[in-house]
Structure 1
Amino acid sequence: MSRFPRLSARVVRGVRFLRPLTHAVTYTRWLHLLIAATVVLASGAIYGITDATAADWALIMVLPVPLVVAAAMVPAMRRAEGLQARLMLFPGSHARVDADGAADDPGVSVAPSASWRDRGRTALWLVLRLEAGWLTGVATTQLIGYALALLGTASEPSEDDGLVLPRPGLGAWDAALVPLPLLALLALVVASGALMAAAARNLLGPSPTERLAALEERTEQLLERNRIARELHDSIGHALTVAVVQAGAARAAADREFTDRALEAIEETGRDALEDLERVLRVLREDGRPARQRPTLADAARLLDSARASGATVDAEVTGAVERLPGPVSREGYRMLQEALTNVLRHAGPVPVRVRVAARDSRLVIDVRNALPPASEAAGRGGSGLRGIRERAVLLGGQARVGPCDGEWRVRAELPLR
């Protein structure tokens, strides 16, 4: 009974060995190597390929090296080799990929050479590809020729068949050995292709400068996504909070006049939120149409009116020339004030709120205070909105403090103006 697990293990190993033969990339790698062999053949044709000895072939293999090294000095050569390597040495749309339909990043740059180090790596790659391609081409010719020679056992072997390996001389039984050179050829193709792919990652991979640029670009994308997420959270969150508070107050009041005012406030706040949403979506779509300008602290009055319409008693004082604040400071300050008021309405309801906005010579101060809500609600005041206030302040070189202070809930942000 123990023989069956052993047999199964051997079958599994055999299937794993044959699996690369079902991948299209195995054969594109083979073609990639054979293309390089044509350069050596062209050099042989110029040198005189007829009656060439082993020493002549060794010389022919070296002749194209100065030419490919000179070609590597052209910056665009690295880009061309990178594109060709990505296409032929790694899985892609032309080959089989993973079960989920995704292929790994090949790690091969397609940027032109930006330094002499890049040119040197490109030169090493071209020389390696040249010599490896020629050796693979010779091995391919020899192994296929040997397999054909084993099939032709009925005839006498030719003296000048060019084969390095002699035939066994078993007569008709030589044909039974035909699979051996073919299997050796397939193993060579798989191994050489994998080695060339690894060499491409090392020699054509991104330089430190390119890696740093890619990292910076990725960081910018993440920061932009984070900014858009905060924009949507602040704008839509404020609108929904006002709508919920207004609807609840209108239902509790059961007064038609109050209900009309509440619906009007909900409509105005919802319209502003839709405009903000449309602006963000235009940025994401990049459709070329001008996006609506983001609100600034010069528009703070509408935030205060919205909070008052929700039933809160707002004692506001705005000092300084807020309309002349730097754009980033004014826009982020508006969002901080919006989130602070939204936080009051969400957790404390329509309570008295004291708002102070002061634009001084060197900094902007935003201070929002309200009575502390019940302990159960105050314990939950640690969401992404308050964290977003701190993040906005830090990104602008300032600071923000949020939490209980002298028996009140306080949000205080200080932003430098330079």
Structure 2
Amino acid sequence: MDRMLRPFGRAVTYTRWLHLFMAVVWPAMWWYVFDRPGAWFTAAALLACAGAVPALRTVEGLQARLLLLGQRHDSGHVDIVTAPSRTWGDRGRTVLWLETRLLVGCLVAFLTVQLPMLAVDLVRTAGGGGPDGATFLRVPGHHWWYALLAPLPLVLLAAVVTGSGSLVTAVARRLLGPSPAERVAALEERTERLLERTRIARELHDSIGHALTVAVVQAGAARASGDPAFTGRALEAIEETGRAALEDLERVLGVLRESERPVSARPTLSDAGQLLESARASGAKVDAELSGPLERVPGPLSREGYRILQESLTNVLRHAGAVPVRVRIDVTDGVLALEVRNALTAGLPGPGRGSGLRGVRERAALLGGRAWTGPDEGDWQVRVELPLG
């Protein structure tokens, strides 16, 4: 019993009922004022013409979301869309929805009026009175047991209210829902958001991880050296690296806070000198060779190349410490080649381990390139090749 009565405690049950009544009001007024039986056919024809207007899909979608689903704003739900019709297929589904809503609305409105009248007629005829002349289903005779049947029309009305609401909601999801093209577009948008979140997570990992690694290495070296001049240089390197990391953090947080905010410039391979100097200031002996027109490398490749170089140097400082490092960046034959090598030590991660190395491989794969990380001829190498095309 509780399960049967539960729908009547929900507001959406009555808003769905109201939604069906709204489809019938204007044709009923027209039929009542002009007393023309053809008013309903004229209403159906007008709805067919109105459904071809792209904006009507937005109006019907908003009504359906509010009254059928109980959503007062766009909550990211895609069961019912509120975008204008873009194709004739969308227009056809909108027309079919309008006609279906009119048909179901007429039936529900008729039963909503007639079933209570039938219940009253059963009680009246059971007491010897006559039925109402406006009742569609006449009750013959005068039998006392008609009073026992009086609740049945009301139970049927309750079933009509709940059943028609569920039916019209299912039809709305089908006819006012997203088309296959819109579903694909929504999936692509969701994928883009997920990729953007992954990219932001990698950016923060690389930038903040590099800054903390440099700070730890510099602080340890300064404490061990006991040289005031070296300590001053170490503090200066920590300050510069920390400031760059704060700028990266502020930029990323700005993008997260304001989706319409223009993205500030991100570092590219043209700024690789700052990374190399930071690594040298941390004690690493960096032998760098940069060849080719780095400034002509496309923006996305140049920015991702910078992050790959940053992560590679961070791994060296974190796991190997102040060791000789060979850096080669070459732009030739339509390929950006980047290689970082250093002496293999026990502290370096093994092949396939570490989120940083995984991020290097993911960056390369997303750009259509390849990445190799791991031991090579007694060295630890990170080698990446990215096609410029």
TM-score by length of 1: 0.85
Equivalent residue, structure 2, for 1:82: 61
Q: Does 1:204 align with 2:170?
A: no
**Equivalence for 1:275:** 247
Identity among equivalent pairs (%): 57
1:52 corresponds to: none
Q: 1:287 to 1:36 in 2, by over 3 A?
A: closer
Change over 3 Å in CA distance of 1:242–1:165 after alignment to 2: farther
Q: Which of 13, 30, 43 is the matching residue for 1:26?
A: 13
Q: CA deviation at 1:251?
A: 2.9
Aligned to 1:118: 90
2:193 maps to 221
The equivalent residue for 1:352 is: 324
Determine the C-alpha separation between the residues in 1 that align with 2:382 and 2:300: 20
Could you tell which deviates more after superposition, 265-274 or 281-290? 281-290
AA paired with 2:336? L
Contact 2:121 2:132 in 1 (8 A): no
Conserved 8 A contact 2:96-2:175 = yes
Q: What is the count of residue pairs matched by the alignment?
A: 388
Question: 1: distance between equivalents of 2:361 and 2:85?
Answer: 43
Q: Tell me the distance in 2 between the aligned counterparts of 1:129 and 1:381.
A: 58
Matches within 5 A, 1:19-418: 19-45=6-32, 48=35, 61-93=40-72, 105=77, 107-150=79-122, 156-158=129-131, 160-166=133-139, 169-171=142-144, 177-286=149-258, 291-374=263-346, 377-379=348-350, 382-418=353-389
* Aligned-residue offset at 1:389: 1.4
**Gapped runs of 5+ residues in structure 1?**
1-13, 50-55, 95-101
Q: Please, which runs of 5 or more residues in structure 2 have no aligned partner?
A: none
Tell me, yes or no, if structure 1 residue 16 matches structure 2 residue 3: yes
Secondary structure of 2:384's counterpart equals strand
Root mean square deviation, CA, Å: 2.6
Tell me, in whole angstroms, the C-alpha distance in 1 between the residues paired with 2:81 and 2:228: 68
Partner Cα separation in structure 2 for residue 86 and residue 185 of structure 1: 25
Once the two structures are superposed, what CA deviation does each residue of 1:103-158 show, in whole Å capped at 9, x if it has no partner?
Answer: 99361121222222222211111111111100100100011222344555667224
Inter-partner Cα distance in structure 2 for 1:314 and 1:134: 82
The residue type paired with residue 24 of structure 2 is A
* Alpha-carbon separation, structure 2, partners of 1:255 and 1:47: 102
What TM-score do the two structures reach when normalised by structure 2? 0.91
Structure 1 window deviating more from structure 2 (278-287 vs 234-243): it is 278-287
Tell me, yes or no, if the aligned pair for 2:81 and 2:176 is still in contact at 8 Å. yes
> Residue 222 of structure 1: CA displacement?
1.7
Task: Name the SS for the 1:378 alignment partner.
Answer: coil
Give the 3-state SS of the residue equivalent to 1:166 in structure 2.
coil
1:294 and 1:331 in contact (8 A); partners too: yes
Equivalent in the alignment of 1:4: none
